Amino acid sequence: EVQLVESGGGLVQPGGSLTLSCLASGFTFKTYWMTWFRQAPGKGLEWVASIKYDGSEEYYVDSVRGRFSIYRDNAKNSLYLQIDSLRGEDTAVYYCAREKIAPTVFDFWGQGTRVTASS
Amino acid sequence: EIVMTQSPATLSVSPGARATLSCRASQSVSSHLAWYQQRPGQAPRLLIYEASTRATDIPARFSGSGSGTDFTLTISSLQSEDFAVYYCQQYHHWPPHTFGQGSKLEIK
């Protein structure tokens, strides 16, 4: 059974940093692209960042480029999102998701971890 | 960036009835369109991809159609668990992956 379990969310002051983690199981993690999404309170889904299966390519939404960093450790079946210079508008539930091998859709999602930027 | 627009924002339908949700792309996305369902407090779930292909374990009452810029998700004979928010997503041209703003399907 495919499982994705996020952790690392919490209440952080604006300007602060945190690292989100996503532990994968039930599939060969090292062969899949992985992605982070977020959903602000009462809002829709927003793509945040994606990383190639071997970590050699990364893509970011413009609003987070330079502040967020996506990376992975295939030996640990884990995906990460390093968040720096946190802003109020980053407040959201963050989901990790597996990208289907073909086509580029997202067939399994974690339950999410909540990040709140507030002083 | 391709902008996705969904309509209606909210649709009220009785259980057992049929629901039709729409999604429009700001430029052609060919058939590279997916639909997701999100129930309250839950993660999104992939329903449809390639505009009309049901994902694994998705019931046959869910169907998708369309190509180019106009797409439809139809749910025949609504069940209680189908009342949720539905999002369309284009994957024809990324980054960024873009979603519609969502359509809420509520019980009438």
Which among A2, A61, A104, A113 is the top mutation candidate for probing chain B, defined by the most B β-carbons within 10 Å of its own β-carbon?
A104
Does B42 contact chain A (CB < 8 Å)?
yes
B99 vs A contacts (CB less than 8 Å): 44-47
Instruction: Inspect the interface and report whether the beta carbons of A47 and B87 lie closer than 8 Å.
Output: no
pLDDT at position A103: 81
At residue A101 the predicted structure's pLDDT band, cuts being 50, 70 and 90, is: confident
Nearest to A18 by CA among A85, A74, A62, A82: A82
- Residue B103 reports pLDDT greater than 90: yes
Nearest to A109 among B43, B97, B101 (CB): B43
Beta bridge partners of A2: none
Instruction: Inspect the interface and report whether the beta carbons of B50 and A103 lie closer than 8 Å.
Output: yes
At residue A19 the predicted structure's pLDDT band, cuts being 50, 70 and 90, is: very high
pLDDT at position A16: 97
- Residue A102 reports pLDDT greater than 80: no
Q: How far is B46 from chain A (nearest CA, A)?
A: 6
Instruction: Inspect the interface and report whether the beta carbons of B96 and A61 lie closer than 8 Å.
Output: yes
Please count the other Cβ atoms lying within 10 Å of the Cβ belonging to residue B55. 17
Strands (E) in B30-99, as ranges, are 33-38, 45-49, 53-54, 62-67, 70-75, 85-90, 98-99
Contacts of B2 by beta carbon, 8 Å cutoff, 6+ apart? B25, B26, B27, B29, B90, B92, B93, B98
DSSP character at residue A62: T
What are the pLDDT digits (tens) for B33-91? 999 999 999 999 999 999 999 999 999 999 999 999 999 999 999 999 999 999 999 99
- Residue B9 reports pLDDT greater than 90: yes
pLDDT at position B99: 98
Nearest to B46 among A35, A61, A107 (CB): A107
Q: How far is B39 from chain A (nearest CA, A)?
A: 12
User: What span, in angstroms and rounded, lies between the C-alpha atoms of A107 and A100?
Assistant: 6
The residue that leads in pLDDT, B108 or A80, is A80
Omega into B40 within 30° of 0, i.e. cis? Answer: no
Can you say how many angstroms the Cα of residue A40 is from the centroid of all Cα atoms in its chain? 14
Nearest to B95 among A59, A106, A111 (CB): A59
Beta bridge partners of A102: none
